[in-house]
């Protein structure tokens, strides 16, 4: 013991979001040895982000420098390509078309980096530390500003031929539907995400005459939490918005089942915090649209993982490779 005691091996995990970046030190068994959150500054420069990141990592490690050994870095980031290590055309960032995130951070710390898009990392997080520990075939959906997804087949993340598998946010609900940031129309994420349900609320406010607290809130001020709260209080517009969102999401997920025959879907992200108000219509409409052979076999869960523990996904990317 004492001077001879071995250092604790950890992964430096980073979850880079459009608004916040979360960093943390995670042991192989998922124990979190400290975490921090800071503003990503996605509308500013990439070098500015890297400077902030360095400071935050220094603060994170300051107290336990002598006790830990960082074995590698795990990164989850929007539109990150696991093959190239780059963020490719991230629509909500002003860091350039192609951001060499993996290379930059690897040479900064002289450590190996494993990277995946944020939703793919979340899927591996559920597989290694979360509710999918005993599953081999499942799909994670992150319902936040957009809709991200990660697909696991035979206990392994599906990366695809170009490292870009699992973009369920961009399956088509209606080719003549809502304009999507990606340039297409009617993509699933324009309906089934926090932004999507906001759009649905505003459509309903225009269409219906029902009284609603939501009539006093601007588009910019409206959040997913407000819609959830009002739905729980019985607001007709909010409830109908969840019903429509759940219906579209559930019926599209039936197509995903016809591809993959998964045992479960795991919903995470802001919109999933609404609980049964969302889950009810999703499950009902999924079942209704399933091909006979799948009926009654696919489960839909809400992930209990807290948003502040989003670093578990990127950490799992590394630890899964070192099993």
Residues that bind a second copy (CB under 8 A): 79, 88-89, 136-137, 151, 153-154, 156, 158-168, 170-172, 175, 182-184, 187, 251, 254-256, 258-263, 289, 291-294, 297
Q: Which is nearer to a second copy, 24 or 146 (CB)?
A: 146
**Least distance to a second copy, CB of residue 46, Å:** 20
Structure letter (DSSP) for residue 6: P
Residues 121, 124: Cα–Cα separation, whole Å: 5
> What are the Cα distances from residue 122, in Å, to 142, 150, 176, 205?
8, 7, 31, 34
Q: Which is nearer to a second copy, 26 or 119 (CB)?
A: 119
Put residue 208 in one of left, alpha, beta given phi > 0 → left and psi -120 to 50 → alpha. Answer: beta
Q: Which is nearer to a second copy, 41 or 246 (CB)?
A: 246
Q: Which is nearer to a second copy, 126 or 167 (CB)?
A: 167
| 191 token code pair | 């309906």
| 279 token code pair | 């889950």
**Least distance to a second copy, CB of residue 197, Å:** 21
Buried b (16+ CB within 10 A) or exposed e, 283-298: bebbbebbeeebeeeb
**Least distance to a second copy, CB of residue 262, Å:** 6
Residues 116, 235: Cα–Cα separation, whole Å: 39
Q: Which is nearer to a second copy, 172 or 307 (CB)?
A: 172
**Least distance to a second copy, CB of residue 124, Å:** 15
Rounded to the nearest angstrom, the gap between the alpha carbon of residue 59 and the centroid of all alpha carbons in its chain is: 26
Q: Which is nearer to a second copy, 231 or 290 (CB)?
A: 290
**Residue 38 backbone dihedrals phi, psi, to 5 degrees:** -145, 160
- Element spanning 15, H or E: strand 8-16
Residue given tokens 């959830």 in the structure block? 228
Q: Which is nearer to a second copy, 135 or 214 (CB)?
A: 135
Q: Which is nearer to a second copy, 71 or 98 (CB)?
A: 98
- Listed in sequence order, the residues at least 6 apart from 3 whose beta carbon sits closer than 8 Å to its beta carbon are none
Residues 244, 247: Cα–Cα separation, whole Å: 5
**Least distance to a second copy, CB of residue 248, Å:** 11
**Residue 37 backbone dihedrals phi, psi, to 5 degrees:** -130, 135
**Least distance to a second copy, CB of residue 206, Å:** 24
Contact 300, 132 (CB under 8 A): no
**Least distance to a second copy, CB of residue 200, Å:** 18
- Element spanning 116, H or E: strand 113-117
Rounded to the nearest angstrom, the gap between the alpha carbon of residue 184 and the centroid of all alpha carbons in its chain is: 21
**Least distance to a second copy, CB of residue 257, Å:** 8
């Amino acid at each position: 013991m004492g001077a001879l005691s071995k250092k604790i091996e950890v992964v430096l995990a980073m979850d880079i979001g459009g608004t916040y970046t979360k960093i943390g030190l995670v042991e192989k068994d998922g124990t979190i040895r400290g975490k921090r959150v800071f503003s990503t500054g996605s509308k500013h420069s990439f070098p500015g982000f890297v400077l902030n990141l360095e400071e935050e990592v220094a603060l994170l490690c300051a107290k336990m420098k002598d006790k830990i050994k960082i074995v590698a870095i795990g990164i989850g980031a929007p539109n990150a390509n696991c093959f190239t290590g780059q963020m490719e055309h991230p629509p909500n960032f002003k860091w350039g078309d192609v951001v060499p995130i993996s290379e930059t951070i690897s040479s900064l710390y002289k450590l190996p980096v494993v990277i995946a898009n944020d939703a793919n990392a979340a899927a591996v997080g559920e597989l290694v530390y979360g509710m999918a520990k005993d599953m081999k075939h499942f799909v994670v959906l992150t319902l936040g500003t957009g809709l991200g997804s990660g697909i696991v087949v035979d206990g392994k993340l599906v990366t695809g031929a170009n490292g870009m598998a699992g973009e369920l946010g961009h399956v088509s609900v209606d080719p003549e539907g809502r304009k999507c940031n990606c340039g297409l129309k009617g993509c699933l994420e324009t309906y089934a995400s926090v932004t999507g349900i906001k759009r649905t609320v505003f459509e309903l406010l225009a269409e219906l005459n029902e009284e609603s607290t939501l009539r006093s809130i601007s588009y910019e001020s409206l959040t997913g939490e407000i819609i959830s709260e009002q739905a729980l209080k019985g607001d007709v517009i909010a409830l109908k918005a969840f019903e429509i969102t759940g219906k579209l999401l559930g019926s599209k997920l039936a197509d995903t089942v016809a591809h993959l025959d998964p045992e479960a879907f795991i919903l995470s992200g802001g919109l999933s915090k609404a609980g049964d108000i969302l889950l009810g219509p999703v499950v009902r409409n999924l079942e209704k649209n399933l091909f006979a052979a799948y009926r009654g076999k696919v489960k839909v869960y809400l992930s209990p993982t807290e948003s502040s523990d989003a670093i578990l996904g990127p950490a799992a990317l590394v630890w899964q490779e070192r099993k």
